[in-house]
Amino acid sequence: MAGEDGIAAHVRPATEGTEVTVAVRPDFLLWYIQNGQPLHDADEDASEVQSLIDATPEEERELLDSATSRVRLERRVQLIEIIRAFRDARFRPLVLQAYRNRCAVCSTSLKLVDAAHIIPVSDPRGTDSVTNGIALCRLHHGAYDTGLLGIQSSYRLIINTRTATRLAELQLDGGLAAFRAALPARIEIPNQPEIRPDPHNLRIGLEVRQFPPPLIL
């Protein structure tokens, strides 16, 4: 389990109560040292770790609603927060590895590349799956998150005309023409199909960033 998901927990009887053992992949050992101790305080609820790794908000809510006492509810709230933090820590290296630490738009590396969420974490449809991520340099990450730059389901790059117009009205469009001219037609995608951006996620990403409906393809 830890080899596949990065983390696993096992609950077993102890002399007094239960004992929680936690296994992590070596690349997450530092995260575990810094953040993993509360997992051992989760008692029998630590058995939910695997189900929470890729849980939806609805599944997290269901786990909280099924708590049979205030103590268990508090433990589960803390457990969900820990696993969310773990998913975030796991997301970045997975995405950067998929794109060989290079921006999918301009191929910049230079340790200036971030793991961007296609569907933002603020949206309940968003996940920390590598197929909801894309490696972008800080310039293109900023343009993507602010809704200026978009990526269609065909991996074609587009400019949000609404955002461009708003920037022009505020006289903040300096460099936009050069920015647009430097864009390739499409992003570079990983060779392996299973880790490429999910086209469905890309369409939702355009919707969330308020691109005009005709551009949401």
The model's pLDDT over 22-34, given as tens digits with 9 standing for 90+, comes to 888 887 888 888 8
Are residue 132 and residue 49 in the same domain, yes or no?
no
Are residue 44 and residue 138 in the same domain, yes or no?
no
User: Which helix (DSSP H) or strand (DSSP E) does residue 117 occupy?
Assistant: strand 113-117
The domain boundary, picked from 97, 125, 148, lies at: 97
**103 is a domain residue:** no
The band of 3, judged by pLDDT with boundaries at 50, 70 and 90, is low
Are residue 30 and residue 75 in the same domain, yes or no?
yes
Dist. CA 144–CA 118, nearest whole Å: 9
What is the pTM for the complete model shown? 0.72
Task: Indicate whether 77 pLDDT > 90.
Answer: yes
Residue 79 is part of which domain span? 2-97
Overall number of domains in the chain:
2
Are residue 66 and residue 27 in the same domain, yes or no?
yes
Closest CA to 114 of 134, 87, 88, 89: 134
Are residue 122 and residue 173 in the same domain, yes or no?
yes
Task: Indicate whether 1 pLDDT > 60.
Answer: no
Are residue 134 and residue 173 in the same domain, yes or no?
yes
Are residue 89 and residue 128 in the same domain, yes or no?
no
**33 is a domain residue:** yes
**171 is a domain residue:** yes
Question: Which range has highest mean pLDDT (44-53, 55-64, 131-140)?
Answer: 131-140
Give the mean pLDDT of 146-154.
Answer: 96
